[in-house]
Amino acid sequence: MRPAHVLMVNSGKAEAVEQLRAAAPDAVIDVITESAYASMYAPDVRMHFVDDIGDLTAVRRVALDLLARQPVDHVVAPSERSLPAGGYLRSFLGLAGIGFETANRFSNKATMKSALAAAGLPVAPYQVIGSPAQAAEAADRLGWPVVLKPALGTGSMNTFALSSAGELAELLASPAADGLRRSACPLLVERFVEMEGEYHCDGVVSDGKAEFAAVQRYFMPLLGHTDDFTGSYLLPEDSPDVAAIRALHQAAVDALGLANGVTHMEVFKTCDGFVIGEISCRPAGGGIVDAVKMQYGVDLWRVFMDTALGRSAGVSGPVAPLRSEIVANCDLPVRPGRVVRISTPEELAKVPDVLEARMSTRVGDVISSRLHSASTTGLVFLAAADPQLVAKRVEELSRVYVLEVEPV
């Protein structure tokens, strides 16, 4: 029997290749990505480049060329930007897994919010527009403040919170809006959600049922906080927020039509209840996947790969926590420039309740100005008795952590 041939459509989540190799060690893997990400992959990875993985025609051409060499068995799309292309290739090639319609609902925020709202689920009032020039009229209709962003995007890149028409005009007159102007998809104007807290829910879906859903609360709302100690902590099972968010998660899965896979849902808590920000069908970034594994023993990356390869999710709920403490993942602050000094894992591990510290950035590295909500120089995992102690430990980390950069 020949080895399975897997196409991976991916952006900068190069670690996904190793995750796929672990799940399918004998598979032949071809990665379709953009040349800007080439240096992030190991030298032995078979890469094929397109200018934009969002260009479905370009991705299809590469896939057909690879199909001409040998049959394709599976398509894996592990990053937010690659979801539509992955779904498109499965539908186009007649392969099992998440097809284009479902992938589009889980990545295109215009389609997603339309489906969620049609199912009666809570989303912020919004309007879909075709260009930044239409944003002011949409914001006037919705009411300020608003959030302006592409319907297809990743993290918080090209996402702007705007409180007035003057702020919008200033943005549109600056280079910061270039990403919006170049966007090859519709834009969304949403009414800004005044929130008491921001949460996320990371689940495993099998035959349409959420067999597992881990609920975490962010230290602070993510938008505009790349230079802060961002991160989240898992909520205790008896928290009323857990039950409410799990119910909302299942309802969102039903509305968008996911049969099997992994989800990552963002939720805002307001004075009137919870509001769904967005939901995707791929593993979360940062330290979230590892934190879930530390707390529950569920490996979301492995489940994602298994379901993409047509296997069972292998998770049957309810899943009990492995420890009584609250596990937290902390993304260390990042800012652009060449790193001249940065903390070591050993220095950070001296803070009480630290389970593990990992640094992904070293002295001499250059940090790009293209930052998003998962950008970080490293990850610190904590296990503390309660949320208040988590906050105290993060404050202690902030006093220990050092990052010095110089202009490039």
Does residue 203 share a domain with residue 255? Answer: yes
What's the mean pLDDT in 197-223? 93
C-beta of residue 160 within 8 angstroms of C-beta of residue 171: yes
The answer to whether the CB of 153 falls within 8 A of the CB of 223 is no
CA distance 147 to 145: 7
Which segments within 113-272 are labelled E, that is strand? 126-129, 146-150, 160-162, 187-191, 197-206, 209-218, 230-234, 261-270
Q: Give a yes or no: residue 218 inside a domain.
A: yes
Which pairing describes strands 28-33 and 5-9: parallel, antiparallel, or unpaired? parallel
Interval 318-361: pLDDT, tens: 999 999 999 999 999 988 999 999 999 999 999 999 999 999 99
Pair 232, 219: CB distance under 8 Å: yes
pLDDT of residue 304 exceeding 90: yes
**How far is the C-alpha of 187 from the C-alpha of 380, rounded, in Å?**
35
Q: Is the pLDDT of residue 226 over 60?
A: no
Of 284, 287, 81, 299, the closest CA to residue 184 belongs to 81
Show Cβ contacts of residue 106 under 8 Å, excluding neighbours closer than 6 positions. Answer: 83, 98, 112, 256, 258, 263, 279, 280, 281
Mean pLDDT of 121-127: 97
Residue among 239, 221, 238 nearest 230 (CA): 221
What is the residue-averaged pLDDT of the chain?
Answer: 94
Q: Are residues 73 and 201 in the same domain?
A: no
Check whether residue 211 and residue 344 sit in a common domain.
yes
Measure CA of the first residue to CA of the last residue in the chain; give whole Å.
52
CATH of the domain at 167: 3.30.1490.20
- Does residue 218 share a domain with residue 170? no
- pLDDT 10s digits, 20-57: 999 999 999 999 999 999 999 999 999 999 999 999 99
Q: Fill in the amino acid letter for 263.
A: T
Q: How many CB atoms lie within 10 A of CB 249?
A: 22
Two tokens, residue 54: 């969002």
What is the C-alpha to C-alpha distance for residues 131 and 290, in angstroms, rounded to an integer? 38
Q: Which two tokens stand for residue 406?
A: 């110089």
Helical pair 165-172 and 135-142, crossing angle rounded to 10 deg = 160
| Residue pair 382/353 in contact by the 8 Å Cβ criterion | yes
CATH code (residue 335): 3.30.470.20
Angle at 196 between CA 317 and CA 318, to 5 degrees: 5
22 and 99 in a common domain: yes
375-388 pLDDT, tens digit per residue, is: 789 999 999 999 99
Please indicate, yes or no, if residue 78 is contained in any of the structural domains.
yes
Q: What are phi and psi of 46, to 5 degrees?
A: -80, 105
Residues 220, 369, single domain; the answer is: yes
Q: Are residues 186 and 100 in the same domain?
A: no
Angle at 293 between CA 237 and CA 250, to 5 degrees: 55
What is the structure's pLDDT at 227? 62
Query: Are 153 and 59 in a shared domain?
Result: no
Find out whether 144 and 164 touch, Cβ atoms under 8 Å: yes
What pLDDT is recorded for position 224?
A: 56
Task: State how far the alpha carbon of 218 is from the alpha carbons of 274, 302, 391, in Å.
Answer: 14, 24, 11
Of 362, 351, 358, 310, whose CA–CA distance to 332 is shortest? 358
Is residue 177 included in any domain, yes or no? yes
The structure tokens listed for 344 are 């070591």
The maximal CA–CA distance of the chain, rounded, in angstroms, is 65
Instruction: Examine the domain organization and report whether 17 and 166 are in the same domain.
Output: no
Domain end call among 191, 213, 232:
191
Asked whether the beta carbons of 317 and 212 are under 8 A apart, the reply is yes
Q: Is 165 buried (19+), middle (13-18) or exposed (0-12) by CB count in 10 A?
A: middle
The pLDDT assigned to 315 comes to 96
Nearest to 105 by CA among 97, 116, 95, 90: 116
Q: How confident is the model at residue 372 (pLDDT cuts 50, 70, 90)?
A: low
Under the banding of pLDDT at 50, 70 and 90, the label for residue 12 is confident
Residue 117 inside a domain? The answer is: no
User: In this structure, what DSSP letter does residue 128 have?
Assistant: E
CB contact at 8 A, 258 and 106: yes
How many structural domains is the chain composed of? Answer: 3
> 176-188, pLDDT tens digit by residue?
999 899 888 999 9
Whether 303 and 251 map to the same domain: the answer is: yes
Residue where a domain stops, chosen among 145, 174, 191: 191
Domain that residue 393 falls in: 197-406
Is 372 within a domain? yes
Looking at the DSSP bridge assignments, the partners of residue 366 are: 338
pLDDT at 151: 93
* Residue 118 domain flag: no
Residue 228 lies in a domain: yes
% of the chain beyond a pLDDT of 90: 90
- Which pLDDT belongs to residue 335? 86
Can you say whether residue 28 is alpha, beta or left, with left for phi > 0 and alpha for psi between -120 and 50 degrees? beta
352 and 203 share one domain: yes
Confidence of residue 222 (pLDDT cuts 50, 70, 90): low
Say what the pLDDT of residue 153 is: 81
User: How far is Cα 204 from Cα 299, in angstroms, rounded to an integer?
Assistant: 10
Separation of alpha carbons 49 and 161, rounded Å: 34
pLDDT at 155: 62
Output the domain CATH number for residue 39. 3.40.50.20
pLDDT digits (tens, 9 = 90+) for 72-100: 999 999 999 999 999 999 999 999 999 99
Identify the domain boundary among 191, 210, 230: 191
Same domain? 375 vs 257 = yes
